[in-house]
Chain A
C-alpha cells in the first residue's frame, strides 16, 4: 500500500519503523525539518519529502494522488486535521489524524463526517484507557482484548513462592482444572511460546489467554488477587490524568490527583467534581506520605518528565504495596526501564503507533491478507492475530493435532458464534469460526502461512 506519514516525531518514527519492517508498503514521509527527513531516509527504505503538509505542491511530491492511507501525526492537532481535509480533497485516501486536545476530542464526533477521518487517535486517551484496564485488574501488567471483547490476553508476573513455580504448562489444565491457555512466557531477554512440557519458574512473565472473566478462578487458585483497586493516587494532572480520572470515577474508584500548577488544579476541580485535587509538588516525599501513599491501592505517575516518573514509581514501590503504573514518553529505553521493576509501564507513543498499525493492517485485508485484528504482545516480540475462517481455508475441517503447524506458532483460541473454545488436539476448526494465532516470527498474513 502507499502510505504517507506526515510528521516525523516519535510516533511518526515508530510508525515508519514498524511499517517498513513489513516491507510491503511504499512509505513516504513528509516533514518540514530537512534534517529529520535526511535522517529517516538514511535509516529506512522510504521516500522523504521536505515541506509542509498543507502545501499542495509538497503533497503532490509525496504522491497524494496515489496514496491509500495518510497518517497525520504532527505535534499540532489543527494541522493534522487540516492535512487530512486537504488530503481528502487532493486524492482518494483514508486519513488518520492524531487529535489530542480534550476539547477537540469531545467535539470530534460532531464533525468527523465533515473531516472524513477514517480514524482519530488520541495518545492520552489511549494511555488512560490502558491504565484504567490495568487498575481494574491490578495483578496484570498488560491486557489486550480480542474477538469483540470476548477474549483477553493478560500478562502477569509469577510471584516468588507461587504454586506455579516449577509447574508444567500442561498441568495447569490437568491439575488446576482451569480453561486458560498460556500463550507466551518472557524470561529475562528470552521469549517463548511454550509447549505442554514447558516448566514455569517464578519471576517469569506469563501471558495467558482466557474468555473475559474466565480467568478469575485460575488466579484464585494460584493465589493472586483479582479484584479492582479501590483508590489511586495520580501524580501530574495533564490530559492523560484527566481522561484516566474520569474513567476511574465511572467505575467508582477514588481518585486523588497531585498537580503543581494551581490553575490546572482549578480546571480539574471544575471538570471532575468527584475527585480530590491536591495542589502541590508530587515529587515531595512528605506530601506523598501525607496524602496516604502507604495505604494507597494504586499509584500512577503521569508527569511529563520520564525520569521523574521512574523515580516517583520506585519511591512508591519502596513505601507501599500499591499497584504501580508509570508513563514513559521516550520509547528508546524500554529495555532498561523494564529491568527496573516498575510494575506496568505505559508508552503512549507506542500505543498510538500500534493502534494506527492495527488500522493499516485491517485496511490491508483487501490487499490479500486476512487479519482481522492484531496486537503486539510479549513486549512487542510476538503478535496475536485474529483470522476469520472460510471454507477454502487450508486449516478448515481438520483436527488440530493433525495440522502441521510451524514452530513458534500457536492456535490460541477459537471463537464459534460467540462461544469461546480453548482448542485441544481433538478440536476441529470450522467455517465461520474466528481463530486467534500467536506467533513469534511475524510475516503471517493468512492462515496458510502457519502451516509447514
Chain B
C-alpha cells in the first residue's frame, strides 16, 4: 500500500494521503498482532496450506477495501469489498459508474490489486520471505491455477521467484510498449497491471475504446501471452523448445482464439467499416474474454447473438493452467473432452484398456477424477448462485452472465452487466454472492469449500 501513497503524493492528492496512512497503519498493526500469536507447531500440511490461502485471500480483500471506503471512492462497505475482491481475483467487475472521477491513487490501487492477485499473493510471499520447511508447496498449489501443479525447479522458493521474475519482466515490457504508444505513464502502468493480472479494471469509463489501435493491439497480444502457462516461458528461457512444442494446451488455446476470431469476424462483418477494424476489435474482445481479462474496446452487447454466444462459451473455457487467467482452464477442457472420447471408445469396445494422454504422457487417474469433481462442484455452485441472484428480479441473461463473469473472473457480462454498464445494480445480498463466486473462481473452488467444511476444524 506504500505504492498508492507515493502515487497520491505524486499526483498532489493531499486530501487522500491520510486515508492511505491509516490503512498502512492498520495493516501493520494486524500483522503485528498475528505475529505475536504464533503457535510452536510449524508443520504445514495440505489442509493448513489450503485453509491459510483461503483465509488470507479473505483477509487481504478486507484490508484492501478499506482505502475505497476511507477515500470516499465507494462509500458502501459491501460495494468496496466487491471492488477489492474483483481486483484481487482479477475479475475486473466494477460497481463504480463514473471511474474517471476517482482520485488517481485509488485508480492505481485498483489496478495494483490485479497485478498482485494475478500470480497470487502467497506465491509472492513464498518468493520473498525466508520461509523454510516443506509445507510451502501446498500454498503454491492452492493458489496456482490448473488441475495439477508442479514445481519448475526443486525448491519452492526458487520456483516462486522464477514465476515472479517472468511475470515482472513481461509486465515491464508491456508497460514500456504502452507508454511508447499514446498512453501517458500513469495510464500505461495501470493498464499494464490490469493486463498482466488478466484483471480488467480500466481507468476510463469506456475501458480501452478511446485509445489508438496500436495500444489495443499491444494489449491484445499481451493478454494472450499472459493467458499461457508460465512454465512454457520457463522452458523457452531454458531453451527446451522441443518440450514447448510437445505441450498441447497452448496450441489448443491459440487454436480456439483464432477460430473464435474468424467466426466473429464473419458474423459481425457488417458492423465494422473495414476488415482490419473487424479483426482488431473481434480479436481484442476474444482475447479479453478467453484470458478472463475483461477489457473492451466496444460494447459487444450490441453484437449478433451468435457472436455473443461464442463469447459466453469462451468465458467458461478460460485461459491455460498456470497462467494468471481464470475460467475452467483449457487443460481441464482437454482432459474432459478426451475422457468423453475414451468413454465412447470403451462403450464400443468394453474390454479395451485406454489411458488419457496429455503432452505425450499419461494423465493420472487421480487427476482425471479431480477434474471431474471440479466440474461438478463448479456447476453446482454456478447454478446455486444464479438461483440466489435471481431474487433480485433481473433478466436471465443478466443473471447468467453476471455469475459467469464473476466465477470465471472475467468482469463484464452481457445485458445489464455488459461492458457499457456495471454491477452496481445488484442488491447487497447478491453482491456478497458474487464476491464469494469471485473468490471461488480464483482459488478454483476447493480451498474455499475446505474453509467452510466442518471436517477442517475438527481436531
Residues of A within 8 A of B (CB): 20, 23, 26-28, 34, 41-47
Contact = CB atoms under 8 A, between A and B. Distances in A.
Contacts of A27: 154
B134 A26 contact: no
Contacts of B137: 41-42, 45
Contacts of B153: 26, 47
A45 B139 CA distance: 12
Contacts of B155: 26, 45
Contacts of A43: 134
B138 A42 contact: yes
Nearest to B364: A34
Interface string B138-150: 1000000000001
Contact of A45 (B46, B136, B366): B136
A34 B46 CA distance: 17
Query: Which 8 A-B pairs give the minimum distances between C-beta atoms?
Result: A47-B154, A26-B154, A44-B134, A43-B134, A46-B154, A45-B134, A45-B156, A27-B154
Interface residue SS majority, chain A: mixed
B395 interface: no
A48 to B, nearest CB: 8
A47 B134 contact: no
B35 interface: no
Contacts of A46: 154
A28 B134 CA distance: 14
A44 B43 CA distance: 11
B276 interface: no
A27 B364 CA distance: 23
Interface of B: 45-46, 132-134, 136-138, 150-151, 153-158, 364, 366
B132 to A, nearest CB: 7
A43 B136 CA distance: 10
A47 B153 CA distance: 7
Most chain A CB neighbours (cut-off 10 Å) among B46, B136, B154, B158:
B154
A300 to B, nearest CB: 37
A121 to B, nearest CB: 23
B430 to A, nearest CB: 39
Contacts of A20: 134
Given A34-B364, A42-B46, A45-B137, A23 B154 contact: no
Nearest to B366: A34
A45 B135 CA distance: 8
A21 to B, nearest CB: 10
Contacts of B136: 45
A47 B364 contact: no
Interface residue SS majority, chain B: loop
Contacts of A23: 132
23 contacts: A23-B132, A26-B154, A26-B158, A27-B154, A28-B154, A34-B364, A34-B366, A41-B137, A42-B45, A42-B46, A42-B137, A42-B138, A44-B134, A45-B132, A45-B134, A45-B136, A45-B137, A45-B155, A45-B156, A46-B154, A47-B150, A47-B153, A47-B154
Contacts of B45: 42
A117 B133 CA distance: 32
A42 B132 contact: no
A47 B158 CA distance: 12
A252 B269 CA distance: 99
Contacts of B157: 45
Nearest to B155: A45
B159 to A, nearest CB: 9
A41 B366 CA distance: 16
B440 to A, nearest CB: 24
A213 to B, nearest CB: 44
A267 B157 CA distance: 54
A34 B362 CA distance: 12
Most chain B CB neighbours (cut-off 10 Å) among A20, A26, A44, A45:
A45
B138 A45 contact: no
A42 B45 CA distance: 8
B240 to A, nearest CB: 9
Contacts of B154: 26-28, 45-47
B47 to A, nearest CB: 11
Given A26-B155, A42-B45, 15 more contacts: A26-B153, A26-B154, A27-B154, A34-B366, A41-B137, A41-B151, A42-B46, A42-B137, A43-B134, A45-B133, A45-B154, A45-B155, A45-B156, A45-B157, A47-B154
A299 B279 CA distance: 87
A45 B157 CA distance: 9
A47 to B, nearest CB: 4
A42 B151 contact: no
A1 to B, nearest CB: 11
Contacts of B138: 42
Given A26-B153, A26-B154, A47-B151, A42 B134 contact: yes
Contacts of B151: 41, 47
A188 to B, nearest CB: 21
Nearest to A47: B154
Nearest to B138: A42
Most chain B CB neighbours (cut-off 10 Å) among A20, A28, A42:
A42
A45 B137 CA distance: 7
A45 B134 CA distance: 5
A47 B151 CA distance: 7
A36 to B, nearest CB: 13
B131 to A, nearest CB: 10
Most chain A CB neighbours (cut-off 10 Å) among B134, B150, B157:
B134
A20 B137 CA distance: 14
A26 B136 CA distance: 16
A42 to B, nearest CB: 6
B236 to A, nearest CB: 17
A42 B50 CA distance: 13
A320 to B, nearest CB: 44
Nearest to A40: B134
A47 B364 CA distance: 18
B62 to A, nearest CB: 30
A20 B134 CA distance: 9
Nearest to B133: A45
Nearest to A43: B134
Contacts of A41: 137, 151
A26 B133 CA distance: 14
Contacts of B46: 42
B76 to A, nearest CB: 43
A256 B286 CA distance: 82
Contacts of B366: 34
Contacts of B150: 47
Nearest to B132: A23
A46 B364 CA distance: 20
Contacts of A42: 45-46, 134, 137-138
Most chain A CB neighbours (cut-off 10 Å) among B45, B133, B153, B155:
B155
A146 B156 CA distance: 37
Contacts of A47: 150-151, 153-154
A34 B367 CA distance: 12
A20 B151 CA distance: 16
A374 to B, nearest CB: 22
A23 B132 CA distance: 9
Contacts of B364: 34
Contacts of A44: 134
Contacts of A26: 153-155, 158
A205 B91 CA distance: 64
A390 B11 CA distance: 61
A68 to B, nearest CB: 13
Nearest to B159: A47
B72 to A, nearest CB: 46
Contacts of B133: 45
A173 to B, nearest CB: 40
A34 B155 CA distance: 19
Contacts of B158: 26
